[in-house]
Structure 1
Amino acid sequence: MPSNEQRRAAAKRKLERQLARRAEQEKKRKRLMIAGSVLGVIVVAAAVTGVYFLTKGEDPATSAEQSSAVPTTPFVNTPLDIPGPPPPTAKPATVDCAYPASPEPAAKPVTPPATTSVATDGPEVRLTIDSTQGPIGLSLNSAQAPCTVNSIVSLAEQGYFDGTSCHRIVASPGFGILQCGDPTGTSGGGPGYSFDNEYPTDQFAPGDQALEQPVNYQRGVVAMANAGTSPEGKGTNGSQFFLVFGDTELPPKYTVFGTIDEAGLETLDKVAGAGVEGGARDGAPAMPISFDTVEVG
């Protein structure tokens, strides 16, 4: 039976294939747009329609100075022309959650959160992240993802996220995420328990083909990273999440549990502007970012 780490590796390989297809589609779209602009000049001899492009900037340096360098180019969001997930359906005032132990031990010692009478209609929950590159504020949505918010709040209150680095970034047209929440910084760490997906996965029946169709995870949302579904059909959410700074095309299998404030998006844009370590498309941020503290309220 594959472990969560193996499933995460498989999920990452699948995501890399999706990114490659997305990049090839973007190249084709640019070629078509350029051809259309040239044809327009020949036919009407009027103003040429500008061809959309997103500059990547220079390859990021790998020296120690890069850790605090100013980004070489600002990140520009590329709005996707696909719809977002369907709106969430209302939940009862309270729900019960399940957080079964995962095969891998906790990356940091923590106590699993409460499982019964988890509120869905309480006051807005705020997370204040003091990061090494600037502030990031999150508003968590208990109404659409109560079990996820319950877990994230519990981990934050236990100091689980303090002193952790964001180990992965993808910054390209159609994909803009910063992945965080793993104290080991390896993409394999978790809290020692797992839980199922919530919104938007819960808007679809199990096996629905629509779960394989991409939707727009819009700039400004925060969602859970996972390793797919276990052989037993259980979810593999743990502590890792991704902050979306650019509209991102993904199937609706990643729980959206909150939004990022404007100050947080400015911080993320700065990190995204520096690109990926070594000039890659997917990997460690060229501008390292860690969470000094993550506080509730």
Structure 2
Amino acid sequence: MTTNEERREAAKRKLEQRLEAERQQARKRRNTVIGVVSVVVVAVAAVGGYFWYRAWDNGRHTECSYADEPFDWDAAIKSVQQQVDTAPAAQKAQGNAYLQLLRDGQKKQRTAPKPPSRTLNTGTVTMTLKTNKGDVPLSLDRHQAPCNVNALVSLSKNGYYNDTTCHRLVARDTLNVLQCGDPTLTGAGGPGWTTKDELPKNLKMVPGSDQMQQLGMEATYIYPRGTVAIANKNDAQQGTSDTGSAQFFIVTKDSQLPASLSIVGHVDDQGMKVVDQIAKGGIDPGVLGTAQDGNPKTPLEIKTVSISD
């Protein structure tokens, strides 16, 4: 038989057990709330971080478009053949020589896949031409022309420039360049697509060009020695634009050109020593050229091209 003291002790223990159970339940509820809040905070931070990253990442990328532009060799050869057939006898020899150049070029024609449409618009890329005369590193600036730099990088990685020869050398009073990037050696070769123009900024205008502009003429600007730019077939009077792709030129002396050629980078002094060898070798007029604009007498053969970021 229990005493009053024992009953009081038993009641006290039950009360303490009930209070402890209530305290444990309260702690569980508090921990659950803290856990849910933590998950929500982490989720909100993750979502915010994701959108911040997307905005930051989108800001350092550019969306590019590349248009299909195959060259119709058969049509070009047929057109020239018709002109040769009706040309005076004195011009037939040169016409036939050009026809042969086109036929030979058609056999050397290459294509390459279009570059990725999304590309970085910051930083530089080194595109090194491994040539028969030594290395020519091109420092490409994504900020200046991201889509055209992207095109050169893609072409290089696909081997488009491997085992090609720079086909044109110009040495005039206002234009001095070495042009490369056409496997056909005709000036007509391309990978089957074209890039958008990315017009240069901050070039110095040739003195007097502002007066030309006032007369409705196209102004000219100074492209400094060592500049690397994309060759194109743009025609302002015909409204033709966005015709550049694989062919590029290196400025051997400060030159005067309209600001319609996308500048992709420059060649440093060491690389220009190799380019200078070709320029000093002189010009072979070739089939349709002149003593100031033709084929380099000293070939610059691009064996391979390497890319490094």
**Alignment match, 2:112:** 110
Show CA shifts across 1:66-125 (max 9, x none): xxxxxxxxxxxxxxxxxxxxxxxxx95221111010032793232110113x2112x420
**Alignment match, 1:257:** 264
**Alignment match, 2:64:** 97
How far residue 201 of structure 1 moved from its aligned partner, in angstroms, is 7.2
**Alignment match, 1:291:** 302
Q: TM-score, normalised by structure 1?
A: 0.62
How far residue 171 of structure 1 moved from its aligned partner, in angstroms, is 2.0
**Alignment match, 2:120:** 119
SS in 1 for 2:109: coil
Contact 2:226 2:266 in 1 (8 A): yes
Show CA shifts across 1:154-174 (max 9, x none): 000001000111110012433
How far residue 150 of structure 1 moved from its aligned partner, in angstroms, is 0.5
In 1, Cα distance between equivalents of 2:217 and 2:298: 34
Say how many residue pairs are matched. 202
Going from structure 1 to structure 2, the CA distance change for 1:209 and 1:140 (only over 3 Å counts) comes to farther
Gaps of 5+ in 2: 1-57, 73-107, 204-212
The structure where helix makes up a greater share of residues is 2
Contact 2:70 2:190 in 1 (8 A): no
In 1, Cα distance between equivalents of 2:136 and 2:216: 33
**Which AA in structure 2 matches 1:249?**
Q
**Alignment match, 2:25:** none
Going from structure 1 to structure 2, the CA distance change for 1:172 and 1:287 (only over 3 Å counts) comes to same
In 2, Cα distance between equivalents of 1:200 and 1:209: 23
**Which AA in structure 2 matches 1:283?**
G
In 2, Cα distance between equivalents of 1:243 and 1:135: 14
Going from structure 1 to structure 2, the CA distance change for 1:209 and 1:227 (only over 3 Å counts) comes to farther
How far residue 234 of structure 1 moved from its aligned partner, in angstroms, is 4.3
Greater RCO structure (CA 8 Å; 6+ sep):
1
SS in 2 for 1:173: coil
**Alignment match, 1:213:** 219
How far residue 233 of structure 1 moved from its aligned partner, in angstroms, is 4.9
Counterparts of 1:1-297 in structure 2 under 5 Å? 92-104=59-71, 107-116=109-118, 118-121=119-122, 123-200=123-200, 212-229=218-235, 233-277=240-284, 280-297=291-308
Gaps of 5+ in 1: 1-90
Going from structure 1 to structure 2, the CA distance change for 1:211 and 1:102 (only over 3 Å counts) comes to farther
